[in-house]
Structure 1
Amino acid sequence: MNPEQNIYKIKIIISLKKLLERGKSLQKELKDNKVVYSYHGVASNALLRKATINDTLNGITSPKATTLISIVEAMEFTMSDFGREFDSILDQEIETYQNENS
């Protein structure tokens, strides 16, 4: 994987983790929310294996577009929400991720 592809992969991981955390915060405020913001809950809603969610969010694999869309929608976010998170990631966040996961 070339360095640019690696940066994209890291930005995808960070973006998904931020959406997951945002979902957990929202879940506390919503009484009738049926989405569970955990790897298992997202996997269930996305109709994907929990291992797929785990591997994606832990950087083991890069998701295909259809898998990425399924994960984002399973968390009840839009691809626009994902795009905003992706675009807002700072170089420092990427560097921190690389240092913590190397």
Structure 2
Amino acid sequence: MNIEENINKIKIILSLKKLLEKGKNLQKEFKDNKVVYSYHGVASNALLRKATVNDTLNGKTIPKATTLISIVEGMGFNMTDFSKEFDSISEDDVKIYLQEYT
């Protein structure tokens, strides 16, 4: 895996984690929200195995496009929301992630 692939992988992980956190905050505001913002809840909504969601959010695998879309939509977001998060991640965010998880 080259450097660019690694950076994109980290940006995907960070983007998904940001959306998950946003969802948890939204859930506190809206009691009727039916999306559960946990790995299990996302997996259930996305019709994926919990291990798939877990491996993706923990950086063990790079998701295929269909898996990524399923996870994002399983969180109750769309790909526009994901791309905004992805684009907002800086080089410093990637460096911090690398320092914490390697």
Q: What TM-score do you get using the length of structure 1 for normalisation?
A: 0.99
**Alpha-carbon separation, structure 2, partners of 1:95 and 1:74:** 28
The C-alpha deviation readout for 1:35-79, integer Å capped at 9, x for no partner, is 000000000000000000000000000000000000000111010
- In structure 1, the gaps of 5 or more residues are none
Shift of 1:88: 0.3
Q: What TM-score do you get using the length of structure 2 for normalisation?
A: 0.99
Secondary structure of the structure 2 residue equivalent to 1:70? helix
**Partner of residue 11, structure 1:** 11
Residue identity (%): 74
Question: What is the Cα-based RMSD across aligned positions, in Å?
Answer: 0.4
May I ask how many residue pairs the two structures share in their alignment?
A: 102
**Partner of residue 58, structure 1:** 58
- In structure 2, the gaps of 5 or more residues are none
Instruction: After TM superposition, list the pairs within 5 Å mapping 1:60-75 onto structure 2.
Output: 60-75=60-75
**Alpha-carbon separation, structure 2, partners of 1:55 and 1:77:** 20
**Alpha-carbon separation, structure 2, partners of 1:50 and 1:34:** 18
Shift of 1:101: 1.0
Secondary structure of the structure 1 residue equivalent to 2:44? helix
1:31 matched to 2:34: no
